[in-house]
Structure 1
Amino acid sequence: MTTTLITGANKGLGFETARRLVAAGHIVYVGSRDLARGRRAAERLGARLVLIDVTDDDSVAAAAKAVEAAGGLDVLINNAGVEGRSANAGVLGAAETTADAMRAVFETNVFGLVRVTHAFLPLLRSSAAPVIVNVSSGLASITRVAAPGTPTYSYPGVAYPASKAAVNMVTVQYAKAFPAFRVNAVEPGYTATDLNGNTGTQTVEEGAEIIVRMAQIGPDGPTGGYFDAAGTLPW
């Protein structure tokens, strides 16, 4: 049976992905940094809870030990992420973006992803068919963001697209380093979640489609790619 860990899975896309993978027969670990919320989500889903704060070394190490003690891991879905919205000003544009604001977004979206992946690499290496799915964004596509007249072109933020572009590069480099793994970045689409203040135009059911699909690929599936529900995306 396939065992899967999803970070940031107590709500939104992570929760829906967990629901779908439990239904598909996976043993699913709901990664949550909040005990009460995580427990409620795991109970609703029929999943397992693992406490994990992707920005904290000790928390991630403890989560890896807990999953190892329970039997190992086959699929890692790096879903936890932040956009870096200001409560008053919304998304920070280029003029308002500071190094501290960038650092805060990168701490979760990039450093957190690397921290978690590094900690769980020994478990994934022991799997017969290891898979890593990194939840990226269409805003990570420099090709799209640079195309006038498109929704991605009109997005004013700096930190979030830059962090997800970094996620894409990390994905490619991990895929090259671990050819026995299937490592891919996915774009769920503009989905209504807390991350964007529920302004997205898609449902979580629609957004989770590509995450669930890439979590279930076999050893002959693609690796080092960047996908949405319709296919391959330009870098």
Structure 2
Amino acid sequence: MTTKNALVTGANKGIGLETVRRLAAMGFKVWLGARDAGRGETAAQTLRGEGLDVEWLELDVASDESVVAAAEAVAARAPGLDVLVNNAGIASGYVEALGPDGRYERPPSRENIADMKATYDVNVFGPVRVTQAFLPLLMASSAARIVMVSSYLGSLARASGNGQSPNAMGYGSSKTALNAVTLAFARELAPRGIMVNAAAPGYTATDLNAHRGGRTVQQAAEIIVRLATLAPGGPTGGYFDENGALPW
């Protein structure tokens, strides 16, 4: 039986690590993408200790050179890539803008443009870089799946209709842009049988929000894994949480 291959970016901790664990438990060989060698290899060793086929892959999604080298490394070891999860994401300046009660307190009029640029480089341009570099391997699969890890904050409908959502312009707009990237790749790749969808894992306790989120990584990974393992005939060009389609 041919082993299926998966890559998860930003996967040495949090939602990414749990996604790696879940996919590997389903029989995938999973490449655990991470920038830091120590953290990446430690995470991979932990999962190998659980009997899972996981290998650390040096990958900085904000670096063209790193992404190209990572694609070449996988191509030398695998005939194709069946699943790509673009999970790596940051919210530069987000934690610093949280008040004592955990609410986001930086209005758009005081948003730091340098923070926005850093956030976009990882959250928007990162998935584009990675998807483009790994596309030949994805096309070599008979039924590849691409998952863009988005956020509820990427929904313009929710932002305009729900005053309780934080007005986090930098991070939120980066996820709105990622949703547009999802649609663009889905339209291009649909004729090739590659499904591309965006997942909203919910407000999960991770380093990104100083662990103030109310959901576990196990809950968050559910929709990501579901979209990564869609059967033929499933949706593409969609935006989902575990309960179904979300408004753009």
By the TM > 0.5 criterion, same fold?
A: yes
CA distance in 2, matches of 1:27, 1:190: 28
1:226 is aligned, of 216, 227, 239, to: 239
What SS does the aligned partner of 2:197 have? strand
TM-score by length of 2: 0.90
Q: What is the TM-score when the length of structure 1 is the normalising length?
A: 0.95
Deviation, structure 1 residue 96: 1.5
Q: Does 1:198 align with 2:211?
A: yes
**Amino acid paired to 1:166:** A
- The answer to whether the 8 A contact 1:181-1:219 is kept is no
Match of 2:110, SS state, is coil
Amino acid at match of 1:76: L
Partner of 2:101: none
Hey, what does 1:166 align to over in structure 2? 177
Q: Which amino acid aligns with 1:73?
A: L
Report how many aligned residue pairs link the two structures. 232
Task: Work out which of the residue numbers 38, 51, 72 in structure 2 matches 1:65.
Answer: 72
Q: CA offsets, 1:10-43, max 9 Å, x none?
A: 0000000111111111110100000010001111
C-alpha deviation, 1:89, in angstroms: 3.3
Larger deviation: 117-126 or 83-92? 83-92
- How far apart are 1:82 and its partner, in Å? 0.5
Q: For 1:148 and 1:121, locate their aligned partners in 2 and report how far apart those are by CA, in whole Å.
A: 37
Is the alpha carbon distance of 1:194 and 1:220 closer, same or farther for their aligned partners in structure 2, counting shifts above 3 Å?
same
- Could you say what secondary structure the match of 1:172 adopts? helix
In structure 2, distance between residues paired with 1:88 and 1:172: 32
- Picking from 146, 149, 153, the partner of 2:160 is 146
Task: Give the distance between the partners of 2:159 and 2:131, measured in 1 at CA.
Answer: 27
| Offset at residue 68 of structure 1 (A) | 0.5
Instruction: Give secondary structure in 2 for the equivalent of 1:85.
Output: coil
Amino acid at match of 2:60: D
Query: What is the distance in 1 between the residues matched to 2:107 and 2:144?
Result: 38
* Matched residue type, 2:228: A
Q: Counterpart amino acid of 2:148? A: N
**Aligned equivalent of 2:31, options 21, 29, 32:** 29
Q: Which residue of 1 aligns with 2:19?
A: 17
2:46 to 38, 44, 47: 44
Q: Is this contact kept in 1: 2:94–2:209, CA < 8 A?
A: no
C-alpha distance 128-148 of structure 1, shift in aligned 2 (>3 A): closer
What's the offset of the Cα at 1:86? Answer: 5.1
AA of the residue aligned to 2:188: A
Quick one: distance in 2 between partners of 1:148 and 1:56?
Answer: 36
The one of 192, 199, 208 equivalent to 1:186 is 199
| Separation (CA, whole Å) in 2 of partners of 1:133 and 1:87 | 26
Q: Where does structure 1 differ by over 6 angstroms across 4 or more consecutive aligned residues?
A: none
Match of 1:215 in 2: 228
The one-character-per-residue Cα deviations of 1:74-104 (angstroms, maximum 9, x if unpaired) are 1100000011225643354212113322111
Q: What amino acid sits opposite 1:65 in the alignment?
A: E
User: How far does residue 219 in structure 1 lie from its aligned partner after superposition?
Assistant: 2.6
Q: Report if the CA contact (8 A) 1:75-1:131 is conserved.
A: yes
CA distance in 1, matches of 2:16, 2:76: 23
Structure 2 unaligned segments of length 5 or more: list them. 49-53, 99-103
Which segment drifts farther, 72-81 or 91-100? 91-100
- Residues in 1 aligned to 2:8 and 2:205: alpha-carbon distance in whole angstroms: 19
Match of 2:150 in 1: 136
Identity, in percent, stands at 50
For the residue of structure 2 that corresponds to 1:95, the secondary structure is helix
Alignment RMSD (CA, Å)? 1.2
